[in-house]
Structure 1
Amino acid sequence: MSTYLRMRAVPAPALRNSATWLERQFEDDVKAVRHSCGRHREEVLDERYLDQERIYAGALPHGAGGEPRAQVVLGGRPVCRTGRAGPRLLVLTAAQARRVAGFLSAADFDALWDFARGELLPRYGGVSAEPETWGAFAAAHRELRAFYARTAESGDAVVKWLPV
């Protein structure tokens, strides 16, 4: 079984502090969600999501009131399950999602990459594989930027399904 991270935009007024409700948000597959909603409602990152997070860890703080770099991939308020194992569930409010969208729209991916490349390249084939590695992480960055931009435009919150 491959490890991946799913992030879904949900209308802020509908957001519930219930693990059961949050789990239900991930019952449909990604293609069905994108087809039925007609807008970008879910983003899925493959097993490199921890390394994608590393790229944002080197960003400068976004100013007072929070550090969106810590919210992009793995951030959010945990919603605990009582007595059950399973993926972790995290929630970003609509305001937090807007801050992350602002951070990503202003972020210079090349500068973020320069900070993380020394740590990441050895895991992905070294310097000779840098063009392909850079391309994969840059594409994920663009997808995250698009997801958060559309989420912010819609005034939605974000729910994350994080493998344990």
Structure 2
Amino acid sequence: MPPPALRNSVTWLERLFHDDLRTVCRGTGRHRAEVRDRCRPDQEVLYSGATPHPTPAGPECQAVLGGLPVLHPDPHRQPFLVLTAAQVHQVSDFLEAADFGALWGSARDELLPRYGGADAEPEARGACAAAHRELTAFYTRTAGHGEAVVKWLAERD
């Protein structure tokens, strides 16, 4: 999202996310909206070290769940999360410098039971590594364009 186009309005942000992913991409004039694979819910553990949110909201936490919340008037709806272009650059720098092996080593014991235990480690590690590469590529491209990021986590059932 180009920073000048960003609005700190729930109504505006809802309109941005109202339609399907293709519409969101057209509405922002970019094709950089990313959808995380099945590892997405676990990226919080990978980057913050544990759940729920135990570390300061530095770049490592902002990669997935961070950003300035724009609260929805309905308390049952998830807030929008906005990262400024400067924060996007910090996240990009963090992800580019991150050692995935070290991240996996710190999160492995918590993540493996969710994927079927030690026998499933190659597949689980591979899924999380692929998600890490996609996230790194997304933030690198976005930082390179000097853009902000707006996130809206899927509504929980």
TM-score normalised by structure 2 residue count: 0.84
How far apart are the structure 2 equivalents of 1:54 and 1:18?
Answer: 30
How far apart are the structure 1 equivalents of 2:7 and 2:25?
Answer: 22
2:105 matched to which residue of 1?
Answer: 114
2:71 matched to which residue of 1?
Answer: 80
Q: 1:131 to 1:98 in 2, by over 3 A?
A: same
Higher helix share: 2
Q: 1:142 to 1:35 in 2, by over 3 A?
A: farther
Q: 1:43 to 1:108 in 2, by over 3 A?
A: same
- The C-alpha deviation readout for 1:86-127, integer Å capped at 9, x for no partner, is 232110000000000010011010110000001100111001
Q: Which amino acid aligns with 1:116?
A: A
Identity among equivalent positions (%) equals 60
- Name the SS of the counterpart of 2:18 in structure 1: coil
Where structure 1 has 5 or more consecutive residues not aligned to the other structure, the ranges are 1-9, 60-65
How far apart are the structure 1 equivalents of 2:32 and 2:19?
Answer: 12
1:57 matched to which residue of 2?
Answer: 48
8 Å contact kept, 2:89–2:143: yes
8 Å contact kept, 1:33–1:41: no
Across the aligned residues of Structure 1 and Structure 2, the Cα RMSD in angstroms comes to 2.3
Q: Which amino acid aligns with 1:104?
A: L
2:148 matched to which residue of 1?
Answer: 157
How far apart are the structure 1 equivalents of 2:60 and 2:13?
Answer: 23
8 Å contact kept, 1:101–1:149: yes
2:131 matched to which residue of 1?
Answer: 140
2:121 matched to which residue of 1?
Answer: 130
What's the CA shift for 1:39? 5.4
8 Å contact kept, 1:40–1:150: no
Q: 2:86 aligns with which of 83, 95, 98?
A: 95
How far apart are the structure 2 equivalents of 1:85 and 1:58?
Answer: 27
Q: Which amino acid aligns with 2:6?
A: L
Where structure 2 has 5 or more consecutive residues not aligned to the other structure, the ranges are 51-56
